[in-house]
Amino acid sequence: MNVLLIGATGFSGKEILKELLHQGYNVTATTRNASSIGLKDPKLTVLEGNVLDSLFIRNALKKQNAVINALGIGGKGDGKPNTLISDATEILVSEMERSNTTRLIAMSNVGAGNSKNFHPLIFRKIILPFFMKWLKVIIDDKNKMELKIIKSPLDWTIIRCPNITDKPPKNNINATLDGKGLKLSITNRDLAVFMVSQLQNTEFIQEAPSISN
């Protein structure tokens, strides 16, 4: 299977790339700087370009069977409103429809969409808007991203993540649609394994599970 990976050089993107190659997928990874990939593999093609360039995305989608979108703004960002992810997603979805590439797996945040209700009321009303404004900005953009995906005819899966930690994998992943059993974190490695597993899993097509350890 040929897989296009958007956001291959981010914190989670790097781990997803490793897992894709480990499982033997043919991967095309997009980046603004090819030297930042840091991996060489006969099954890896690196494309340097801008994800906000529709022609670049159109060319990247050629001969692809699926897309994993792990695009992020890099850590906490600068706390200012940002539409990079939703703008890039709008282009990606449009070009996927044009190319008849239907399978999309996108990384989002717990707190986006209906998963906002999985957080305690005090977090939603006080902590997030007043003490974690940087996260609210990210979630606002992910909300826009999710709407663009959900309104599309694609075979999408949106994976909502809590805090992603750089710890050894726990090899236990809870995926929930209603918030039951959801914890505060997931290891980066476990996240990558779950994301890649969705390429062969049809359980969550046109669903948005929240995951944690």
**Which of these, 148, 145, 18, 160, lies nearest to 10 by C-alpha position?**
18
Helical segments of the chain, H only: 11-22, 54-60, 84-99, 121-122, 133-150, 188-197
Centre a 10 Å sphere on the Cβ of residue 69 and count the other Cβ atoms it contains. Answer: 27
| CATH code at position 126 | 3.40.50.720
pTM: 0.93
Please tell me the total count of domains within the chain.
1
Domain range for 11:
2-212
**Structure confidence by residue, pLDDT tens digits, 146-189:** 999 999 999 999 999 999 999 999 999 999 999 999 998 999 99
